[in-house]
Structure 1
Amino acid sequence: MTQEIHGTVADGFEAVREEFAAFVTGERPDYEGQLCAYVHGRRVVDLWVRDGSDATSLHGVFSSTKGAAHLVVALLVQDGTLEPDRKVTYYWPEFGAEGKGQLTLRDLLAHRAGVIGLDGGFTDDELADDRAIAERLADQKPFWRPGTAFGYHALVIGALAGEVVRRATGRTLQEVYEERIRAPYGLDFFLGLPAALEPRYRSVRPMTPTDEQQALLDSLPRGPHTLASIAFNTHVPEPGTLESYANSRAVRAKGPASAGGVAAARGLAGMYAAAISEVDGRPPLLKPDTVAEVGQIHSIGYDLVARTHKSYGLGFQATADTWHPFLGAGTFGHSGAGGSQAFADPRSGLAYGYTRRRMAFPGGAAPENQRLVKAVHTAALAG
């Protein structure tokens, strides 16, 4: 059964709708997804596939949440409240235990701290609570000498940054995000979903790999004591699944800043549009110097956790290097394990957001983003 594409595109972006429709035609009959884009603060793409959902339906966006967390930090750096080259212990003295005392905030944000998890792992309750994560990690010995290498702090970077924010401002990262970013723009992107909005949440559906894909997954090196298993907390006796994490009401209610956010594509794209462009008469959240700093590559090369090439700016993924090399230099954003992706390309004025309900293979930004981002970017440059 062919699914119907809903929504609108601006003149000149018709090819984006065609690309989205072509992808959807080849997908499972139960596919649900949303695509949204802004150019210079104007919404030019707003598409979705409807299966009991619409443009305001909310999906678990996993690590795309990190983009919201790092935007909070960027605002506080811009304000002068946080200074990237100060030691983390200036804000959070307890963090200096076990040889972490010389680490700067800049290195922490660039995934260079080495505290990717705990030797004994976290409980499910702790993973839903950034304060609990931060308290446990303060005493954790780093898994590499801080500042000498980098590796993806998948489930903890938001808690680490959030504790610095709390110590510096007296407010949680989630509170600052709500007050300065989400509420003023009415964004459908929540770090802490109110109970009244729960009916809009569409539970994450697990990945269903083909036999060939499953064989590839089975061939990957695994072990209970690897850096990857510690970073993703799969070394505990009964590890939870990614979908169970997103589908936990405790996670959605508290909005842990590493991976606990829920959003519509409109919210993802709208946040990045607000970061770099005038939106609805409001000036950009970030000044040009701040945009340049957060998009500047800070860590690049072999990621010790992901065991592949990765690159990060000031917290954000360096999206052009990691995912889409045709994008402008300094593009910054973040993808999520379920397949979501969102970013801002300051040079073209493009802000992009994509969500899907069923988790994509093999994880991270879903493969269809390659075609969709290319179509949107091409149209943006031609406009």
Structure 2
Amino acid sequence: MTREIKVHGTTATGYEAVRDEFTRVLAGEKPDHAAQLAAYVRGKQVVDLWVGPDTDGDTLFAVYSSTKGAAHLTTALLVQDGILDLDREVAHYWPEFAAGGKGRVTLRELLSHRAGIVGADTGFTPEEIADDRAIAARLATQRPYWRPGTAFGYHALSIGALAGEVVFRVTGRTLREIYEERVRAPYGLDLHLGLPEALEPRFRSVLPMIPSVTERAFLDAQPPQPDTLNSIAFNRNGAHPTDLEALPNSRLVRAKGPASVGGVASARGLAGMYAAAVGGLDGREPLLKPDTVAEFGQIHSSGYDLVIQAHRSYGVGFQNTAETGYPFLGAGSIGHKGVGGSQAFADPRSGLAYGYTRRRFPFPGGPPPEDERLVRVIHTAAVTG
């Protein structure tokens, strides 16, 4: 039996169906469920909706790997400026990285999840997981888990740290500092890499997943496998395995904002970042030129992901959103999803910038089922409106 829910917020003319779908897909959720949905089309906000107790459009949620979009946008800006070259070896910028047979790995290969350094043999401590420079120092000497360039696998907790160390070696500044100066602060975006103490009252902790009886039986039947590539990539090996559900509930993680997984945002912040990047926002020109968007959105790794053990497609850093569950989106769409249920992307062909957040961790992790339906109805309105 579904329940009546109260949806707050606004939709532009022609997007009324989005509110209806948002209401339908969330009507069966638990009473404590909270979610936000925001979208821009060619720089104009067309959807701004939220639902749930103790939640409004300014509430901040953990967005897990949707954080990577901010990291990759910052890197793309430096490539666009000519400060970084995608086809230079990473060791050119960061000499220690050459250890373990990684000397020929290019920045393009690194960002495309082809370098093979998804984690550390003995795992990371909780303090290291929160600190990108500590992760990078450990991985500089790590031997790759496959020959770089011959395959690819999702660098779940390491890609932001690795990109960030390259940025630091070239500029002398952290990726977080450059993102704050060039992206977040100028637009007042609620997508934070490092949540200030003053904004803590707006943060809502992650609620654990509530699997069904069948889902719980499935989970209970899975024996621990700490030595697999998947476990290494998600830091479930070693003496301090990471609990993904609880990870962003740590103030240390929120404060340091690791660029792979530590971001805190509203749906407005997620969608606004992609609008600023690709479509322009507040009457300004887009942050990225069309050629930059095309290069970073071009598929670089597609096929069997050794870590996820399923088909995946990546551009330069960004997930290819059209190839990652949303085939109706335009070619060259760029974005990133988060294991806690967030999703954010830009579809340059329709002009759509999209952001979705939710508080409860979905089963089994990743975009929840309602997200595909919401993306579809917004995209339909964008291309027909």
Deviation sequence 1:301-320 (CA, Å, 0-9, x none): 00000000001001000000
Q: Which residue of 2 aligns with 1:20?
A: 22
Q: Which residue of 2 aligns with 1:262?
A: 264
Instruction: Name the SS for the 2:161 alignment partner.
Output: helix
Instruction: Name the SS for the 1:61 alignment partner.
Output: strand
Contact 1:59 1:203 in 2 (8 A): yes
Letter in 2 for 1:249: R
Q: Which residue of 1 aligns with 2:250?
A: 248
RMSD in angstroms over aligned alpha carbons?
A: 1.0
Deviates more, 1:272-281 or 1:56-65: 272-281
- Offset, 1:238: 4.2
Q: Which residue of 1 aligns with 2:361?
A: 359
Q: Which residue of 1 aligns with 2:85?
A: 83
Instruction: Name the SS for the 1:34 alignment partner.
Output: strand
Q: Which residue of 1 aligns with 2:111?
A: 109
Letter in 2 for 1:90: H
Contact 1:6 1:48 in 2 (8 A): yes
The aligned runs of 1:190-339 (5 Å cut-off) are 190-220=192-222, 222-339=224-341
Rounded to whole Å, the distance in 1 between the matches of 2:86 and 2:176 is 20
- Offset, 1:167: 0.7
Rounded to whole Å, the distance in 2 between the matches of 1:54 and 1:68 is 23
Letter in 1 for 2:264: V
Contact 1:187 1:271 in 2 (8 A): yes
One of 110, 120, 130 as aligned partner of 2:122: 120
- Offset, 1:214: 2.0
Q: Which residue of 2 aligns with 1:158?
A: 160
One of 44, 47, 50 as aligned partner of 2:46: 44
The aligned runs of 1:116-195 (5 Å cut-off) are 116-195=118-197
Rounded to whole Å, the distance in 2 between the matches of 1:129 and 1:39 is 35
Gaps of 5+ in 1: none
Deviates more, 1:207-216 or 1:306-315: 207-216
Letter in 2 for 1:186: G
Rounded to whole Å, the distance in 1 between the matches of 2:254 and 2:304 is 32
- Offset, 1:116: 0.5
One of 94, 100, 103 as aligned partner of 2:102: 100
Rounded to whole Å, the distance in 1 between the matches of 2:49 and 2:271 is 12
Deviation sequence 1:270-318 (CA, Å, 0-9, x none): 0000011121121100001001011100000000000000010010000
Deviates more, 1:12-21 or 1:220-229: 220-229
Rounded to whole Å, the distance in 2 between the matches of 1:16 and 1:221 is 41
Please give the TM-score of this superposition, normalised by the length of structure 2.
Answer: 0.98
Contact 2:41 2:382 in 1 (8 A): yes
Instruction: Name the SS for the 2:165 alignment partner.
Output: helix
Deviation sequence 1:234-261 (CA, Å, 0-9, x none): 1123423112211010110110000000
Please give the TM-score of this superposition, normalised by the length of structure 1.
Answer: 0.98
- Offset, 1:217: 3.1
Q: Which residue of 2 aligns with 1:379?
A: 381
Letter in 2 for 1:235: N
Deviation sequence 1:181-227 (CA, Å, 0-9, x none): 00000000000000000000000011111011223334557511000
User: In the superposition, relative to structure 1, how do residues 143 and 299 fare at CA in structure 2: closer, same or farther (>3 Å)?
Assistant: same
Instruction: Name the SS for the 1:83 alignment partner.
Output: coil
Q: Which runs of 4+ in 1 moved over 6 A?
A: none
Rounded to whole Å, the distance in 1 between the matches of 2:52 and 2:215 is 27
- Offset, 1:2: 2.4
Instruction: Name the SS for the 1:242 alignment partner.
Output: coil
Deviates more, 1:237-246 or 1:99-108: 237-246
Gaps of 5+ in 2: none
Rounded to whole Å, the distance in 1 between the matches of 2:102 and 2:242 is 29
Rounded to whole Å, the distance in 2 between the matches of 1:252 and 1:237 is 22
- Offset, 1:3: 2.2
Rounded to whole Å, the distance in 1 between the matches of 2:240 and 2:163 is 28
Rounded to whole Å, the distance in 2 between the matches of 1:372 and 1:297 is 25
Rounded to whole Å, the distance in 2 between the matches of 1:320 and 1:242 is 26
User: In the superposition, relative to structure 1, how do residues 345 and 220 fare at CA in structure 2: closer, same or farther (>3 Å)?
Assistant: farther
Rounded to whole Å, the distance in 2 between the matches of 1:324 and 1:270 is 20
- In the alignment of these two chains, the number of paired residues is 383
Contact 2:123 2:241 in 1 (8 A): no
Rounded to whole Å, the distance in 2 between the matches of 1:224 and 1:127 is 17
Contact 1:6 1:50 in 2 (8 A): no
Rounded to whole Å, the distance in 2 between the matches of 1:345 and 1:149 is 27
Contact 1:339 1:355 in 2 (8 A): yes
- Offset, 1:364: 1.1
Q: Which residue of 1 aligns with 2:33?
A: 31
Identity of aligned residues (%): 67
Deviation sequence 1:94-115 (CA, Å, 0-9, x none): 0000100000000000000101
